[in-house]
A and B are shown apart, each in its own frame.
Chain A
């Protein structure tokens, strides 16, 4: 058994693994929307958590009540 058979087989197996990964990603719909992920990756967890900034209006209270229902 010559080394070249082994090397070629190995290299083709590696190539096929990547190729299969490509096929799988297409199948999972990764290429259906090629724009949104480019924006999404720039978001961090930008929630404003400073409690002073919160506002108190009747409208908000109703939402906060709903939030308090969260378990």
Chain B
């Protein structure tokens, strides 16, 4: 049967699509959105990109907190009483249709003055009239058209002030100066000795001097600062010879033009700074729509509903929840604090926390933990702790989250900086002392020439261009790394730790097998028909697995929430559910999720639900174990041990029942033994381990949804190629080493001119750009070749 796809969202419509004119919709929500667009002359939305929409979600009561003034004050970017501006993050923004519809919001609601989308950041900035529609109405409107904004506790934090654009300014200034100085120094290159050029030499030179001033004192600030910092920490990093080179270039050039000895090296000076900044700019690839710094605040809601003593519902900020407060948690809402269920049918999905998507049933009096998501109707709970003291959030008080991984990290360029600086300085001193004996007038000339020509422009460019390009290549292969440091660390990895649930297993438990006495056809038919009436996720997946049977009407059907189902037809009665419910007493199958069956009070057997492992995971383990130590840390019980042992190479250590702190300490223990650890995880419970490890990579089904703080996010579909990515990083480091050799060769040539006292401005002006450009070309070509070989 051909699938009917929803006109709005592109999902499969199933057996009963909703029709309107010639269009099909998968649900009423989608149809409503279409109607809204069609009525407001916005149906062009569907022409830009077909099926671009999302079906709207149930939001009743969800945004009541937007009526509270203190919350509004923190969320709004601008507020003058009537006109308000807000910047909302909308995860669904993904195509040109999205941009178009969100920028035409003013056609949908008269209160909206204008709206502007920032596509890379997935945000929309809306300016609206508060008197015509408050923020809540706006958010509800957005949700109704399928663009539900994501508002979390994180938005309550004071906003970061402005964007740092200093690199762009610096790049602009040095590029401007470089171009103009090049022009002005052209006559000098040819030494034509023409009368008029001789006449204006001085003027030209002082102009070049003027252009170089902002370059030295503003654009190259960063290098002086880094060199100073390095020297104070007694480290000779690569910035030291760069800063020295810039300084010497400027001083010598200025002296030359003051005493009219020559034209100086202003062209090389400005060019050097321009190229270096270009490298920095290239390296700065960021995935602005991904956040690598998330903590629990990005997951948690701003406010929840509190039930006051006189049974009134009020919105209360999450930070203001006190012990003993009664809270109302609606369907799809997150539990913000640890507490006790008071009433209602609690079915809690802890997938944010553990990666385990199977909801857990809780009853009145049971304890629930912060971070769980209620999946059923509303429940009432009593808070036992405040937000910051809850079990999950306490993890963040650990010092590891305040540590910046880049401090103490020595990048590949700096690692050769020490030897390089010492070599250059010794060559400079030896050459100078030689000339002091031979021809003292040339000594200072030679000394400065060595420092100028040895200025490691090409070396400093090798790593930024190689790693910057690798970052982009990995991005195309769905491995999004936070910065270039992550690639360098990835190349050094010798141990890989995997989390189990959600990382190496797929989120859905679709692997079902039956153990016990075989069911007869009649029993199977009864089973299938009983399951048909139930909405429990386990029932649904079991229902889809069983062969089709005729639909029969049951004589009696009963669903005991949290226990099981009972169906009766004629004399046959079937019970489906927990071991207790069907009257099964042996408890050996407790370790896996199972559904037990009994007919007419006779126990038959059980369906076991297994985690399905991701495709190719066994091959990945096989490849990785050749060069790396691997182990698995699971927060779950040991129920899957036997299956995991089959998947992993012999002798792979498997650890079960690991708490978040245990995982963290385990990695710390490895690091104390000088191991370089790669951690792969997914849930918030891995956040500590991801932060502790040298490289923490979060595995994600959908990179736009939330993953904990990490160094990189890998699309779950490409987990299979992880090992290839690690080898590619190693090769990238090899490319950088080769580029170092290449640029050292240029340095040797330049040093020959310098120590023999023949360095002229034109040689420096040719050598410097030549070496830089050839390095950039080499690294770009090499990394692109490397990227081509990567599977995706």
Complex-state Cα separation, A53 to B43, whole angstroms: 9
Complex-state Cα separation, A6 to B189, whole angstroms: 24
A47 interface neighbour in B44, B96, B176, B196, Cβ under 8 Å: B44
Are A26 and B36 in contact, with the CB atoms below 8 A?
A: no
Q: Which of B117-125, B224-232, B371-379, B614-622 contacts A (4 or more CB under 8 A)?
A: B117-125
Given A40-B103, A47-B44, A48-B42, are A63 and B108 also a contact pair (CB < 8 Å)? yes
Are A53 and B103 in contact, with the CB atoms below 8 A?
A: no
Are A19 and B172 in contact, with the CB atoms below 8 A?
A: yes
Are A15 and B176 in contact, with the CB atoms below 8 A?
A: yes
**Residues of B contacting A63 with CB < 8 Å?**
36, 39-40, 108
B117 interface neighbour in A2, A36, A67, Cβ under 8 Å: A36
Complex-state Cα separation, A59 to B116, whole angstroms: 27
Interface size class of B (residues with CB under 8 A): 35 or more
Complex-state Cα separation, A44 to B120, whole angstroms: 22
**Residues of A contacting B163 with CB < 8 Å?**
29, 32
Tell me how far the C-beta of A49 lies from the nearest C-beta in chain B, rounded to whole angstroms: 6
Complex-state Cα separation, A39 to B203, whole angstroms: 47
Are B196 and A4 in contact, with the CB atoms below 8 A?
A: yes
**Residues of B contacting A42 with CB < 8 Å?**
96
Instruction: Considering the complex, give the chain B residue whose CB is closest to the CB of A4.
Output: B200
Are B165 and A27 in contact, with the CB atoms below 8 A?
A: yes
Are B119 and A59 in contact, with the CB atoms below 8 A?
A: no
Q: Mark A1-32, 1 if CB is under 8 A from B, else 0.
A: 01011001000100100010011001101011
Complex-state Cα separation, A60 to B119, whole angstroms: 29
A40 interface neighbour in B35, B39, B99, B168, Cβ under 8 Å: B99
**Residues of B contacting A2 with CB < 8 Å?**
200
**Residues of A contacting B656 with CB < 8 Å?**
none
Are B99 and A54 in contact, with the CB atoms below 8 A?
A: no
Instruction: Considering the complex, give the chain A residue whose CB is closest to the CB of B96.
Output: A39
Complex-state Cα separation, A52 to B48, whole angstroms: 21
Are B180 and A23 in contact, with the CB atoms below 8 A?
A: no
Are A31 and B168 in contact, with the CB atoms below 8 A?
A: yes
Given A5-B203, A39-B119, are A46 and B176 also a contact pair (CB < 8 Å)? no
Are A54 and B38 in contact, with the CB atoms below 8 A?
A: yes
- Tell me which residues from 79 to 129 in chain B have a Cβ below 8 Å from any Cβ of chain A: 96, 99-100, 103-104, 107-110, 116-121
Complex-state Cα separation, A70 to B42, whole angstroms: 18
Instruction: Considering the complex, give the chain A residue whose CB is closest to the CB of B197.
Output: A4
B41 interface neighbour in A8, A48, A57, A66, Cβ under 8 Å: A48
Tell me how far the C-beta of B82 lies from the nearest C-beta in chain A, rounded to whole angstroms: 14
- Tell me which residues from 176 to 195 in chain B have a Cβ below 8 Å from any Cβ of chain A: 176, 180
Instruction: Considering the complex, give the chain B residue whose CB is closest to the CB of A60.
Output: B39
Are B44 and A60 in contact, with the CB atoms below 8 A?
A: no
**Residues of A contacting B132 with CB < 8 Å?**
69
Q: B434: CB under 8 A from chain A?
A: no
| Total chain A interface residues with beta-carbon distance under 8 A | 38
Tell me how far the C-beta of A48 lies from the nearest C-beta in chain B, rounded to whole angstroms: 5
Complex-state Cα separation, A30 to B172, whole angstroms: 14
Q: B32: CB under 8 A from chain A?
A: yes
B119 interface neighbour in A36, A54, A64, Cβ under 8 Å: A36
B120 interface neighbour in A22, A36, A47, Cβ under 8 Å: A36
Tell me how far the C-beta of A52 lies from the nearest C-beta in chain B, rounded to whole angstroms: 11
**Residues of B contacting A48 with CB < 8 Å?**
38, 41-44
Complex-state Cα separation, A55 to B647, whole angstroms: 57
Instruction: Considering the complex, give the chain B residue whose CB is closest to the CB of A40.
Output: B99
Are A60 and B36 in contact, with the CB atoms below 8 A?
A: yes
Q: B169: CB under 8 A from chain A?
A: yes
Instruction: Considering the complex, give the chain B residue whose CB is closest to the CB of A9.
Output: B207
**Residues of B contacting A47 with CB < 8 Å?**
41-42, 44, 104, 107
Instruction: Considering the complex, give the chain B residue whose CB is closest to the CB of A18.
Output: B176
Instruction: Considering the complex, give the chain A residue whose CB is closest to the CB of B123.
Output: A33
Given A36-B120, A60-B39, are A26 and B100 also a contact pair (CB < 8 Å)? no
Are B44 and A33 in contact, with the CB atoms below 8 A?
A: no
Complex-state Cα separation, A55 to B575, whole angstroms: 50
**Residues of B contacting A40 with CB < 8 Å?**
99, 103
Q: Mark B47-80, 1 if CB is under 8 A from A, else 0.
A: 1000000000000000000000000000000000
Are B103 and A55 in contact, with the CB atoms below 8 A?
A: no
A43 interface neighbour in B39, B100, B172, Cβ under 8 Å: B100
**Residues of A contacting B121 with CB < 8 Å?**
33
Given A49-B41, A53-B43, are A26 and B196 also a contact pair (CB < 8 Å)? no
Tell me how far the C-beta of A8 lies from the nearest C-beta in chain B, rounded to whole angstroms: 7
**Residues of A contacting B42 with CB < 8 Å?**
47-48
Complex-state Cα separation, A32 to B120, whole angstroms: 10
Instruction: Considering the complex, give the chain B residue whose CB is closest to the CB of A37.
Output: B119
Complex-state Cα separation, A70 to B169, whole angstroms: 44
**Residues of A contacting B107 with CB < 8 Å?**
47
Are A57 and B165 in contact, with the CB atoms below 8 A?
A: no
Instruction: Considering the complex, give the chain B residue whose CB is closest to the CB of A5.
Output: B203
Complex-state Cα separation, A23 to B109, whole angstroms: 37
Are A66 and B110 in contact, with the CB atoms below 8 A?
A: yes
Complex-state Cα separation, A51 to B49, whole angstroms: 23
Are A55 and B39 in contact, with the CB atoms below 8 A?
A: yes
**Residues of A contacting B44 with CB < 8 Å?**
46-48
Given A36-B120, A53-B38, A60-B39, are A67 and B110 also a contact pair (CB < 8 Å)? yes
Complex-state Cα separation, A44 to B36, whole angstroms: 21
Given A23-B172, A27-B165, A46-B44, are A33 and B39 also a contact pair (CB < 8 Å)? no
Are B41 and A15 in contact, with the CB atoms below 8 A?
A: no
Tell me how far the C-beta of B122 lies from the nearest C-beta in chain A, rounded to whole angstroms: 11
Are B180 and A64 in contact, with the CB atoms below 8 A?
A: no
Complex-state Cα separation, A64 to B109, whole angstroms: 10
Are A23 and B110 in contact, with the CB atoms below 8 A?
A: no
Tell me how far the C-beta of A27 lies from the nearest C-beta in chain B, rounded to whole angstroms: 7
Complex-state Cα separation, A31 to B44, whole angstroms: 29
**Residues of A contacting B38 with CB < 8 Å?**
48, 53-55
Complex-state Cα separation, A26 to B169, whole angstroms: 8
Tell me how far the C-beta of B27 lies from the nearest C-beta in chain A, rounded to whole angstroms: 14
**Residues of A contacting B165 with CB < 8 Å?**
26-27, 31-32
Tell me how far the C-beta of B194 lies from the nearest C-beta in chain A, rounded to whole angstroms: 12
**Residues of A contacting B47 with CB < 8 Å?**
46
**Residues of B contacting A12 with CB < 8 Å?**
180, 207
Complex-state Cα separation, A48 to B101, whole angstroms: 13
**Residues of B contacting A27 with CB < 8 Å?**
165
**Residues of A contacting B104 with CB < 8 Å?**
47
Instruction: Name 7 interchain pairs, CB-CB below 8 A, sorted by A.
Output: A4-B196, A19-B176, A23-B172, A36-B119, A60-B35, A63-B39, A66-B109
Which residues of B are interface residues toward A (Cβ below 8 A)? Answer: 20, 32, 35-36, 38-44, 47, 96, 99-100, 103-104, 107-110, 116-121, 132, 163, 165, 168-169, 172, 176, 180, 196, 200, 203, 207
List 4 tightest A-B contacts by C-beta distance, closest first: A46-B44, A60-B39, A47-B41, A36-B119
Sample of 13 further A-B pairs with CB below 8 A, known A22-B172, A27-B165, A59-B36: A12-B180, A22-B176, A29-B163, A31-B165, A34-B120, A36-B99, A43-B99, A43-B103, A48-B44, A53-B38, A54-B39, A54-B41, A57-B39
Which residues of A are interface residues toward B (Cβ below 8 A)? Answer: 2, 4-5, 8, 12, 15, 19, 22-23, 26-27, 29, 31-36, 39-40, 42-43, 46-49, 53-55, 57, 59-60, 63-64, 66-67, 69-70
